[in-house]
Amino acid sequence: MHHRPYLVLVAILIVTLTAAGCGGAVVSSASPASAAPRAESGAPRQTLTGTPGVAAPSPTARATDLPSRVVVADLKIDLPIISGDATLPGNPPDFPLCDVAQYLTTFPFPGRLGTTTWIYGHAREGMFLELLKASEQNDGASLIGSTVDVFSTGNVRYRYQIAEVLRHATDRSVAQGVPADQGRLILQTSEGPRGTVPKLQVVANLIETEEASAAEAQPAALPRACANE
């Protein structure tokens, strides 16, 4: 497999979601209660498969890709991803669905220059519970360096490396100060009972992009309403 590098320019937009859902984004303007100094790495080693002697596709060709699957192999997390705007009967619009992860519709395009991707889900069995458990041990030190694969509807795998774990986050400051040559992924889940504000935010930097098969990138999503569970 042959790769050709290119740089990714990133600019972050602020998101607005309710704190009522288990994985919903927080809205306070206060600083996170225990935010460590930002861990910035160098320029990402972003690659895309191609044919020898032929230029890899332009990143703009992937600009409308949407997240479709998230995998954190070290934690055995593997979930289809659907829109954060998705609703089901019996589930409040602002309450995340079960058996899937969801992306913020203001941060939806992993393949678009100048954006980030924000994915959230419940801290429940089979979902992001293992992420929460890992964060509670030594402030999530074991998570640093782990990779996160986000697949897209355009059959691309975007690989990120976890650089920082923010516990008890109460604002969106994690979306600020992104270097111009990096892409950022945020995985978010809740830390406490429904309706509480502090969230767990795991920050990862884009290191590689590679084509994937449709079978890998587009799993069947079977979201379930679980607000009353």
In this prediction the pTM is: 0.76
Domain-by-domain residue ranges, the chain?
19-36+65-217
- The pLDDT tens digits for 133-160 are 999 999 999 999 999 999 999 999 999 9
Of the options 3.20.20.140, 3.40.250.10, 2.40.260.10, 3.40.50.720, the CATH number for the domain spanning 19-36+65-217: 2.40.260.10
d(CA 176, CA 170): 14
pLDDT digits (tens, 9 = 90+) for 5-57: 433 333 333 333 333 345 654 433 333 333 333 444 444 444 554 333 333 44
